[in-house]
Chain A
């Protein structure tokens, strides 16, 4: 199942790409909830991140302690090459489907 990406997982990966150096748990949650107008819980967020990490799409590292958050370190996430390949594959599949569509999809 390594290659398979779920819709939400794709969303998370793309958000990580968007946030770049500031991609940590709470920031990701905030971003997705605002952008996609969802109401995700922190638990669901971290579960997805853990699964993505297990599948090898992202890696994580702990940042340096700062004055924020009572001195607790943040865990930052980064995309791996696998993730970029998977995202590209997903996108080309979509583009192909979009361009071949027999019905007018534009609003």
Chain B
């Protein structure tokens, strides 16, 4: 035996060998290596010996010998990787643990179920969008044509193309079976029993139903759109207009002409096209009259093109044709570089940034945003799981210690905990699907045009959900799994794991603060919007809306009807108006204040006593009395904004007169204080109030009644006596205004829902953390009590940390909330709103603290008030 040299084999190489060898039996190989090293050390010196050693390690690493040994080590029964039996065992242990630790299980199940629900919604929407237009039989041969336009000012992709492209290509290239032109912007306004209903739709070529596989419930798809002024209705429109009657062949009177109904089709589902009505392309040509779209190579907006290719056409020939057509288009637009592009029908949505695209704007950024919101809710639930799993490590440490002693490898411990988490998430997924089914209609209502999505639960969607659940399970289980697999068996079996590692550590503190800041952010959101809501109804728009009944006129003798209505004893005052106050208005008119320049202003026709009845405030002058207007001059009222806007113009003479749209001269008799005649989200615009009962469309009745239903019933009798053909359509002005603020209610709903989710999840996390920390400190508290600590000081001790953390989250959330709500969100939502209120923020923080206190108190009182003697015997 050699004397022990102080030279050692190179560490790097030995470590490499150990790492590469892994579990393989390499004792003899290492012995050989070392023997060779010491031999060379004597014969050739240290440097060379080390070099040779490293070389030998490398040859062994690449050798068949080591590979073989590694393989056999992997399959040896002693080191078997997870077999089915082990997975069975994991499943059993997981179930037992779930049953044993009911609080932990229910907190996580509830948290994950709620957290995943928004993500499920996002997934189902995305899935439905991805499936859009898959039902078309010819989807593989139909291509949407987009135009990439680049000139000095802009470079972007348009979903629309030049109207001439379709016919040009169809004529020139024989492989094109049909070129389908669609023009958007068909907006018929139908007068339906006195109500103006506007619909939206497209002007389409007659081949519409040959290219797309939309079905017709009634009508012939080949001829329905062949003639001008024909119209196809979707089912819901047909029902709205004709109830049960057969709409076929009926004539719709609209502001743009009359249309014959030639077909009824089902409501749209899973398609990127979005219309309520269709009319023929010939109608469009008729409306344009002098302008033939076939020759239009300039105006590319709102005109869309779909090409149906003949079967087995090569994609390359389409691309060539598009390239040639682009060159042709560039001849007409020398300033612009044009590149026509094709998108297969079923790939049309979701899309990236395409300007002036047809139909619904399902694009990737909004989907990503949706997923972001979903994850924002889901993340706290995952944090809870991670936090709580690690916090209860004490309970599982012994089990893991024994598993390791018996021979479990790290990977197996990891697998066990990941399996456990996956079981948990799949269970939560089931719950989440219930939540999803319950809330999906409510939530989808808030998304524009979501009715075309198919979010019903179907097998393929469930598969996607399960894959999502698995991913979430693995993700949330990963951190605890790694943590547990690293536990040292000796420490965990001796039970001397340091309790310090279970107190609220840095990362956990961070997660905790994040959760509560998020909750607070949403609570402030709810409080703020509720405040705006109250503001809208309480601070008033500048007029009285309470107990005002509105009835729509419909062609009867207005004067007679008014007189009759005024006779009813409960009717305190009667007036009329052309536009209901507090509701969006479409009255665009103008005035000429100085004989040449025009001023945009809304004209509103009002009846007698309008200003008095509605309790509007006059800053100057008087409301024009009856019959004071002369033939030359009409007495009108304006609002302050009108005067401000008019003052810009150069007005030499009489500043009280101007010329109105219909050419009449007006003299201002009174000026109304600026009021919100439109919702508070709209800017106050110049307004002209003209006296005319004849042009009014609504009766406004100020009622004072003990039995409002009876009064309305009696009023209806009076109304129908005057003219039996006219329906009685009455509603309260308050309700009408509330409907105009539907967007606010929607926002309140969204924020309340998200807020509730975030709060519940955060509180669950808080509950879990408090219960486990107090449990771990049971002995400490018992000793403190024996040494003379009071119950209140124990409370303080236990709650201090958490209260401080909630405090931090408030500090984090309030500035964020201020910037987001006050500076961005509310500004767009309600221009004349109140902004973020101090008291609302304070109340939100107070609410959060209260919730936190409640949970902390609930959990700590168990420990703080218990008998220290029993607690000392604990464990």
Contact = CB atoms under 8 A, between A and B. Distances in A.
Contacts of B248: none
B30 A51 contact: no
18 contacts: A24-B32, A25-B31, A26-B31, A41-B55, A42-B32, A43-B60, A43-B63, A43-B65, A43-B66, A46-B32, A47-B64, A50-B64, A67-B1, A68-B1, A69-B35, A72-B31, A73-B28, A74-B28
A44 B63 contact: yes
A69 B4 CA distance: 11
A68 B35 contact: yes
For the side of the interface on A, what is the size category?
20 to 34
Interface of B: 1, 27-36, 39, 55-56, 58-66, 68-69
Nearest to A63: B28
Contacts of A73: 27-28, 31
Nearest to A49: B65
Contacts of A50: 64-65, 68-69
Contacts of A42: 29, 32-33, 36, 56, 59-60, 63
Contacts of B55: 41
A51 B32 contact: no
B28 to A, nearest CB: 4
B30 to A, nearest CB: 6
B34 A47 contact: no
Interface in A59-107: 62, 67-70, 72-75
Contact of A43 (B27, B28, B59, B68): B59
A43 B34 contact: no
Contacts of A49: 65
Nearest to B36: A26
Main secondary structure of the interface of A (DSSP, over half): helix
B48 to A, nearest CB: 14
Nearest to B62: A43
B59 A44 contact: yes
Shortest beta-carbon contacts, A-B, top 5: A43-B59, A43-B63, A46-B65, A72-B31, A75-B28
A61 to B, nearest CB: 10
A12 B59 CA distance: 18
B30 A72 contact: yes
Given A51-B64, A67-B1, A46 B29 contact: yes
Given A42-B29, A73-B27, 19 more contacts: A25-B31, A26-B31, A30-B39, A42-B33, A43-B62, A43-B65, A46-B60, A46-B63, A50-B65, A54-B68, A67-B1, A68-B31, A68-B35, A69-B34, A70-B31, A72-B28, A72-B30, A74-B28, A75-B28
Contacts of A51: 64
A99 to B, nearest CB: 38
Given A41-B56, A42-B59, A72-B27, A26 B32 contact: yes
A74 B31 CA distance: 7
Nearest to B64: A47
A69 B36 contact: no
A47 B33 CA distance: 15
Contacts of B59: 41-44
B29 to A, nearest CB: 7
B73 to A, nearest CB: 14
Nearest to B33: A42
Contacts of A43: 56, 58-63, 65-66
Most buried by B among A26, A73, A75: A26
A69 to B, nearest CB: 4
Contacts of B32: 24-26, 29, 42, 46
Contacts of A46: 29, 32, 60, 63, 65-66
Contacts of B30: 72
Interface string A25-50: 11001100000000001111011011
Contacts of B69: 50
A64 B63 CA distance: 26
A44 B36 CA distance: 15
A44 B65 CA distance: 8
Contacts of B39: 30
Nearest to A51: B64
Contacts of B36: 26, 29, 42
Contacts of B27: 62, 72-73
A70 B64 CA distance: 25
B471 to A, nearest CB: 42
Nearest to B38: A69
A29 B40 CA distance: 14
A24 B66 CA distance: 16
A32 B322 CA distance: 75
Contact of B29 (A25, A44, A70): A25
B28 A47 contact: no
Contacts of B60: 42-43, 46
Contact of A70 (B34, B58, B61): B34
Contacts of A67: 1
A107 B504 CA distance: 87
A29 B61 CA distance: 17
B34 A72 contact: yes
Contacts of A68: 1, 31, 35
Given A42-B56, A72-B30, A47 B35 contact: no
A24 B34 CA distance: 14
B61 to A, nearest CB: 7
Contact of A47 (B1, B56, B63): B63
